[in-house]
Amino acid sequence: MKPPKFEYRAARTVEEAVSLLQEAGEDAKILAGGQSLVPMLNFRLTRPSHLIDINKVSELDYIREKDGKLAIGALTRERTIERSALVRQKFPLLTEATEWIGHVQIRNRGTIGGSVAHADPASEYPALVVLSDAELTIQGPDGSRTTTWDEFFVTYLTTSLQPFEVLTELRFPLPKPGSGYAFVELARRHGDFALVGCAAQVTMNGKGTCQEARLALIGVGPFPHRSPDAEAMLKGQKLTDKLISEAGQKISEEVEPEGDMHASTEYRRAMSKVFTERALKKALSRVQGGK
Amino acid sequence: MKLEGKYTFKAARQKVWDVLLDQKVLASCLPGCERLEEVAPDQFEARLKIGVASVKGTYDGKVRILEKHPISSYRMEVEGSGAPGFVKGEATISLEDKGDKTDILYSGEAQIGGLVASIGQRMLGGVTKLMVNQFFKAMEKKIQ
Amino acid sequence: MAATTTETAQRWVGRSVKRVEDPRLLTGRGTYVDDLHLANLHQAAILRSPHAHARIRGIDASKAEALPGVVGVVRGKQVAELSEAFPLGVAAPVRYYSCAVGKVLFVGEPVAVVVAKDRYTAEDACDLIEVDYEPLPCVLDPEKAVEDPTAPILHENVGSNVANHRVLHYGDTDKAWAEADLIVKTGRLVFPKYGSTPVEGYAAAAQWDPLNQAYTIWSNFHGPFIMHPVMCRALGVTEDRLRFIVPPDIGGGFGIKSSVYPYMTLMAICARVTGLPVKWIEDRREHLVASSSGTDRVSYLEAAVKKDGTILGVRMKIYDNCGGYIRTPEPACLYRATGNYSGAYLFQNLKMDQYAVMTNKSLTGPNRGYGCQQLYFGLERLVDQVAYDLGMDVAEVRLKNLIPAGAFPYTTPSGGIYDSGDYSKSVRLALDMAKYDELRKRQTAARASGKLYGIGVATAVDPSVTNMAYITVAWTPEERARKGYLPKAGSSETGSVRIDPSGKAFCMVNTTPEGQGHETAVSQIVADELGMAIGDVHVITEFDTFTRTWSITSGSYSSRFASVGASAVATAARRVKEKVLKIAAPMLEVNPQDLDVRDSKVFVKGSPERSVPIRRIAGQAHWSATLLPEGLEPGLQATCMFNFPNAKPPDEKDRVDSSQTYGFIAEVMGVEIDPATGEVRIDKYVTVHDVGTLINPMIVEGQVMGGALHGVAGALYEEMAYDESGQFLAASFMDYLCPTAMEAPPIEIGHVVSPSPFTVLGSKGCGESSTMTAPAVVANAIADALRPLNIAVRELPMTPNKVWKLLQEQKAKGVA
C-alpha cells in the first residue's frame, strides 16, 4: 500500500493552482483534504502523474452569508462547517449532514470542495448541492464559470470539471422561513459510507400546508437522486403519514440502486422509501419545533 | 456479475450488424480502448484502460467475436490482465427487427478480479453497467 | 482502584493495578519488528494471486528485475528448491509452500516476492511482473467441496477436498436415541469466516548466514513455538540453525499471528536468494486478504432429549473450511475443543462426524476462541431448539442440563477434566444481573405493541492452556499406535526470576505478549512472592530461541498465560524466595521456615522488627558468593518449566484432556430489531465469567469486553466475504466492518470465582473469553425476537439486509 510515483506541486492561490494544473497536463489531480485521494493512491487505484496541493490556498477557506445564500470556499474543512455557528443558524441541514461524514479525524482534514468534486455516490455534501440547487463556481484557464448539480454530476466519481479547472465556491440558497430539515442515513457502522441516506427540507405555511419540499437521496445511484415527482406530490398538501409514505414509495420506484455485499438492490430500494419517510417526518417535526 | 439489457438502434438490422462488427468502430466504442489489433479473423489484441474518472486500470488482453450468425447474433469475449488484476466478460448479442429500427439484446457475465474486486465493491456493479452503457451508446452514435 | 507502584503492604494479586506497559505503548515508545534496523536491510513486497483457482503457466519478471533498486524476484520455483512443503497435522499429502508452486488456490496467495531497496520500489516492481494464469473453476462452500461430485478438486494428488475426516464417538448415541422422547434438529447452520484485526499486521525480517548455513528471523510470531521445528523441517535445517527473535512489543495477535510462519519462511528464502537481510511488513489489505482467519463452518446438530428437557446425547456433522491448503496447526479448529465438546452440559453420549475441508478461500488458523465460537454457536442454537420444541424456557433447559457444582473435577465423555466451577451459580447470577424475569415481561409488552425484542442466553466452558496432544486426535487411534510414533503431549511454559545485586527482581517469560498486560500480571505475582513493590520487578518479554529456556509449547495462545505462564513464574519466584530465606536464616539466627518476606525485607515471623533487606541478601549472593551457606550456588535466580500432569496423549477411544484449565461463561442478551431496516440493536448484554483467581480484575474485564466485542463483530459486522467466483470482497475497512467503540454495546460483567486446583495461583486463562459465547448469544437473542414470525436463525453475521430479507420472506408468506 505505497503509492506509485507522482510529481508534487503546491499552490498558494487559485490562479497558481490552475497554472500548475496546466503545466502538469491532463493526468494531474488536485490534493485537497486527501481523505479519498490518499487511500486511492495507496491502493494504486489511481495513478496521477502530478498532485497539485491546494491546502495552502487560504483564499478558499471561508463561510459567508451573501445575498440570501451561504457561500463556502471549497477548501473549508468539514469540521469548520460542523462547528460554524453561522451554518448552524442559517442552514442547519448542512450541519446535520456534516455530522454524518466519517469520523472527527476525517472531518478535520476533509474539505467541502473535495467531497463535492470527488462525487462519491454515498457522500453527504453532494446531496445538499442537489437538494438546494446550489451554485458551484469553477475557475479555469479562461476565467470562472458557475454551474449547478444537473450539469456538474455526470456519474460515479465523475463530474463536468475539466482537467485544468478548480472548484472554488459553493453557494447554498438559504431555506425559507417555516422550513424544517433532516438528514438521515443508514450505515453499517458509525461513520461508514451510507447504504442509503436522505436529506429533506420542507417549507410549510402557517396553515400547515407544504409550500415546498426538497429531497435528495444518496447511495441509490451514480450521484444523488432528486425526485421532482415526489416533491410535486407533497407541494400544496398537508403532510400526512399516508402522503409521506406515497412520496417514499414514489422514490423507491424511481431509484436504480446497485447492490454490494452489504446491501442488495432490493434492500436499498426498500430503504430509500423508509429513509425518505423518516427524513420527511423529522423535517416536518422540526418545522413544528421538534429537535 | 450478470449483465442484461436492451437497446433500440434507429437503423436496419444489416447496417447495425455491419457497424457492430467493424473493427474501427469496435476500437472506438470499447470503453477505454487504447489499442485493438486484429491477430486472426475476429480475434484482437487489445489494451483497455477501464474505470471511472481517475480510477482506472490498464489491462492487456484479447477481444474475440465468436458464434457469428449474421445478422442475428454473435458472442463477444473480452479478457485482460494488468497490475490491478484481471477483467473478463462475455455476452451474447442478438439483433431483432423492430420496424425500421433494430433491437439489440445483450446478456452475459462480467468478472473483475484482484484489487478492484477486493476494495471497489461499493461501486463495481454500477461502474460495470455504466461501461456497458457507454459501449452501446457509442455504437448508437456511430450508427446514426 | 488503581494502586501505585511503590506500595507493598498488601497482596498485589487480585488488585486492578494499572498496566505497567501502558505508558510505553501509549507514548509510542514500543519496540516492534518494524523498528528493527539492520545494515543493508532491504524490503520485500509480495505479488499475490488475483484468481481463486488457476494454474500458473509462466511468470515474466524481466521488467521488474530491470527496475533500478530491485535486487531480486523470488518465485515459487525457487521456494520449492530451497524449502520442503510444510509438515502437516493430517495424512492427506497436501503440498503447502510459503509461495504458490505451479497453481494458486485462493485470491491473495503469494506468487512472487520482489526484494528492493525500499517498499515503494518493491511495489512498483510487483506491478511490472506478468503472470500467465489459466483460470480454473473454484469451490467455496465446504459442504459442497466434499459432497458435490462436480466440485473441482484443489489438490489432484490428494484426490478429494477432504484434508481430514474423523468420526469420534463417545458413550453410546444409539442408546440415547433409542431412549429419547424426542429428537431435536438445528438444520443447516453456517458460521462465518472472520479474523481478528490486530493493529499491527504480520511482520518478518530474515538474515541468512552462509558460513554457518543458518537463518535468523525477527518476527511478531507469538507461538506456539511448535512452529519452530515445523519451519526447520520446511527450511531443511536442524533446530540449531534457525534462530527466532521476537521483539518486546507485538501490536495485537489474538491467535492470528501464530500463522505468520509461512511468511517467516518466505523471507528466510528471500534472504538466502539475495544474500541480504530482508524485511516484510504486511499491509492491511494483505492482512485481510491472506493472513489468517477462523474457519467458516457448516454444521448440522441433533439432540436426543427426554420430555423434561434432559439432553441424553448429541450428534454433530461438521464441515470446517480451512481454505486452499490445510496449514498447521489446522485441522486443530475441529479438535481444540475435544475435551469440552459437550460444553457445560451433563450428557454422556456424543458423536462428532467432522471434516476439515479445503476450498478456494484464504487459509485459517488460531483465531481468539479457536474452534469454540463455531462449536458453541451450534451447541447453543441446539439447546435453544430443545427449549423451543419442548415449550420450555431457554434458561430453564440450560439449568436442567448443567454439570452440578459438586461434580468437579469432572471428566467429560471426551476426556476433558474440568478443574473447577459452579455453573448453576454463574448462570443464575447472569439471569439475576439481567433481571431476566423483568426482561421477559418487557418482551411481552414490546411484542404486544408490534416490536421485535429478543432475549438470548448462552453458556460456554472456556478452555485455556491447550495440551498439544489434542491435535493428534486428527489421527485415528490406529495411526497413533503405529510403530515408531512419538506421542505428543504437554502444556508447559518457562518462567525465570532473578534478583540483581541491587535487590530488584528481573523476570523473563516466554509468553510473547501482544498487549495483554503480561508485564503487569507477572510484576504482581512476583512482587507478592518476593515481598516487593511491583515497581521493583522488571519483566522482560523479548524472546530469543538461542538465549532463552523455552519449550515447544511456549508462546501466547489458548489463553495460557494466566494458567501456565503465571504458574511457571510464581514457582520460579518461590524457588528464589526459598533461597533468599536460606541465605537470610544464618543472618537472623533462625531457621528458614521461620522467615518471610515483606517490604523488600526478610523478617522473622512474629518478630517483624528482626529483619534484613533483600538487597543485603542479594549483595551476599552476588558479591560474596563464596561465603554463602553451604550447598547454595552463587547468584539469586531460578527457572521453572511448569507442566500439567493431565496433559497426556489421547487414549484409544480418542479421549483427551485437551486443555488444562476450564473457565465458565454465562451470558444473557436483549436485542431490539428495527422491523423496517432489519438493524439489530443490543439493548442489554450481561456476561458472567469464572476465571478462577483474578490476578488483575481490570485486565480480566478488559479481556472480557474485548472478547465480547470481537464475538459481536462476528455475529453482526465482520465477514471475509467472497463472491461466487472466489473474489475476496472485503480487503479494506470500507467493507471489512471491524466494530469501533461506537458499535460497542454496554456490557455488564459479573464474576464467580472457582480457583483451579491445578494451577499455582488458582487462576485460569481468560484471553479468549466471550469470543466463544457472543456469536451464540447474539444468534439466540435474534432468534428469540423473530420466533413469533416463525423465522429461524441459522447463519451469521445477521446483517440488516439479511434480517430484512427474512422479514420480507415471511411477509410474502403472510406470516408477518
C-alpha cell at A89: 443558524
Instruction: Report the CATH number that the domain containing residue A46 is assigned in CATH.
Output: 3.30.43.10
Residues A207 and A283 in one domain: yes
Q: How far apart are CA C52 and CA C725, in angstroms?
A: 7
Percentage of residues of chain B with pLDDT beyond 90 = 72
Strand ordering across the sheet containing B2-9: B2-9, B101-114, B85-98, B73-82, B55-69, B43-52, B33-40
Q: Do A40 and B55 touch (CB under 8 A)?
A: yes
Domain with B71 in it: 2-143
Among chain C residues, CA nearest to B86: C50
Residue A63 in any domain: the answer is yes
pLDDT band at C1 (very low <50, low <70, confident <90, very high): very low
Residues A17 and A82 in one domain: no
Residues A74 and A29 in one domain: no
Q: 3-state SS string over C255-273?
A: CHHHHHHHHHHHHHHHHHH
- The chains in contact with chain B, meaning 3 or more Cβ pairs closer than 8 Å, are A, C
Instruction: Report the CATH number that the domain containing residue A124 is assigned in CATH.
Output: 3.30.465.10
Which among A119, A144, A173 is the end of a domain? A173
Q: Do A267 and C804 touch (CB under 8 A)?
A: yes
In this prediction, residue A49 carries a pLDDT of: 97
Residues A147 and A194 in one domain: no
Contact criterion met (CB below 8 Å) for C515 and C531: no
In this prediction, residue C2 carries a pLDDT of: 44
pLDDT band at A289 (very low <50, low <70, confident <90, very high): confident
User: What are the pLDDT digits (tens) for C598-636?
Assistant: 999 999 999 999 999 999 999 999 999 999 999 999 999
In this prediction, residue A288 carries a pLDDT of: 84
Residues A95 and A187 in one domain: no
Q: Do C743 and A5 touch (CB under 8 A)?
A: no
In this prediction, residue C4 carries a pLDDT of: 47
Percentage of residues of chain C with pLDDT beyond 70 = 99
Query: Is the pLDDT confidence value at C9 over 70?
Result: no
Residue A96: strand, helix, or coil: helix
User: What are the pLDDT digits (tens) for C507-534?
Assistant: 999 999 999 999 999 999 999 999 999 9
Residues A168 and A184 in one domain: no
Residues A39 and A124 in one domain: no
Which among A158, A173, A188 is the end of a domain? A173
Question: Using DSSP, how many helices (H) and how many strands (E) does chain A show?
Answer: 12, 14
Instruction: Report the CATH number that the domain containing residue B104 is assigned in CATH.
Output: 3.30.530.20
Percentage of residues of chain C with pLDDT beyond 90 = 98
Q: Do C50 and B83 touch (CB under 8 A)?
A: no
User: What are the pLDDT digits (tens) for C693-734?
Assistant: 999 999 999 999 999 999 999 999 999 999 999 999 999 999
Query: Is the pLDDT confidence value at A198 over 90?
Result: yes
In chain C, what residues touch B86 (CB-CB under 8 Å)?
50-51, 133
Query: Is the pLDDT confidence value at C5 over 60?
Result: no
Residues A166 and A81 in one domain: yes
Nearest Cβ partner of B117 from C131, C133, C727? C727
Dihedrals phi, psi of B97, to nearest 5 degrees: -65, 140
In chain C, what residues touch A262 (CB-CB under 8 Å)?
735, 799, 801
Query: Is the pLDDT confidence value at C3 over 70?
Result: no
Q: Does residue C797 have a cis peptide bond before it, meaning omega lies within 30 degrees of 0?
A: yes
Residues A124 and A46 in one domain: no
Residues A146 and A73 in one domain: yes
pLDDT band at C130 (very low <50, low <70, confident <90, very high): very high
Between B121 and C425, the higher pLDDT residue:
C425
User: What are the pLDDT digits (tens) for C736-761?
Assistant: 999 999 999 999 999 999 999 999 99
Q: Which of C133, C727, C736, C799 to mutate to test the interface with B (most CBs of B within 10 A)?
A: C727
CA distance B108 to chain C (A): 15
Nearest Cβ partner of A156 from B83, B121, B126? B126
Q: What is the mean pLDDT of residues C460-474?
A: 97
> C127 in contact with B at a CB cutoff of 8 Å?
yes
Query: Is the pLDDT confidence value at C814 over 90?
Result: no
The contacts found for A156-159 with CB under 8 angstroms, 24 or more apart, are A156/A119, A156/A121, A156/A222, A156/A223, A156/B52, A156/B53, A156/B123, A156/B126, A156/B127, A156/B130, A157/A118, A157/A119, A157/A120, A157/A121, A157/B52, A157/B53, A157/B54, A157/B55, A157/B123, A158/A119, A158/B52, A158/B53, A159/A117, A159/A119
Q: How far apart are CA C198 and CA C249, in angstroms?
A: 13
Which among A152, A173, A194 is the end of a domain? A173
**Which distant-in-sequence residues (6+ apart) come within 8 Å of A199 by Cβ?**
A93, A97, A124, A127, A128, A131, A181, A182, A183, A214, A215, A216, A217, A218, A279
Q: What is the mean pLDDT of residues C97-102?
A: 98
Domain with A135 in it: 58-173
Contact criterion met (CB below 8 Å) for C642 and C495: yes
Among chain A residues, CA nearest to B54: A46
User: What are the pLDDT digits (tens) for C41-75?
Assistant: 999 999 999 999 999 999 999 999 999 999 999 99
In chain A, what residues touch C719 (CB-CB under 8 Å)?
261
Q: How far apart are CA C407 and CA C401, in angstroms?
A: 13
> B86 in contact with C at a CB cutoff of 8 Å?
yes
Between C418 and B31, the higher pLDDT residue:
C418
Query: Is the pLDDT confidence value at C7 over 70?
Result: no
Q: Do A155 and B130 touch (CB under 8 A)?
A: yes
- Which domains does chain C carry? 22-30+492-642 (3.30.365.10), 34-136+216-275 (3.90.1170.50), 170-183+188-194+293-469+649-813 (3.30.365.10)
What is the count of structural domains for chain A?
3
Mean pLDDT of the residues in chain C: 96
In this prediction, residue C324 carries a pLDDT of: 98
In chain B, what residues touch C728 (CB-CB under 8 Å)?
117-118
User: What are the pLDDT digits (tens) for A216-260?
Assistant: 999 999 999 999 999 999 999 999 999 999 999 999 999 999 999
User: What are the pLDDT digits (tens) for B72-117?
Assistant: 999 999 999 988 899 999 999 999 999 999 999 999 999 999 999 9
What is the count of structural domains for chain B?
1
Q: How far apart are CA A124 and CA A182, in angstroms?
A: 12
Q: Do A44 and B84 touch (CB under 8 A)?
A: yes
Residues A271 and A191 in one domain: yes
Residue A1 in any domain: the answer is no
> Among residues 269-298 of chain C, which lie with CB inside 8 Å of chain B?
285, 289
